[in-house]
Structure 1
Amino acid sequence: MGTGVVTDTIYQARFKHIDELRRMNAQIKVEGSSAIVQGPTQLEGG
């Protein structure tokens, strides 16, 4: 189990797919220009 942080200060639409990943059971939170990912999490088809 761990936490990862992905930060993007160039392409603002980088995280537009996060909502779809959350629907698949991903544990992701967006704060400003960073996405905080907790896992491992088994993704499920939507």
Structure 2
Amino acid sequence: MQTYLTLTELCIKLGGRSRSAIYVDLEAGRLPKPIKLGGRL
């Protein structure tokens, strides 16, 4: 079974990294692209 993390949970798991640092890693391809859940746009 696959579990999903919120951005806050991901920050904690990555050693307290900031949200902006995580977005930089996403753009650079060091983290997988986020998966959108639910019907909101």
TM over 0.5: no
Higher strand content, 1 or 2: 1
Normalized per residue, which structure has more helix? 2
- The structure showing larger relative contact order (alpha-carbon pairs under 8 Å, at least 6 residues apart) is 1
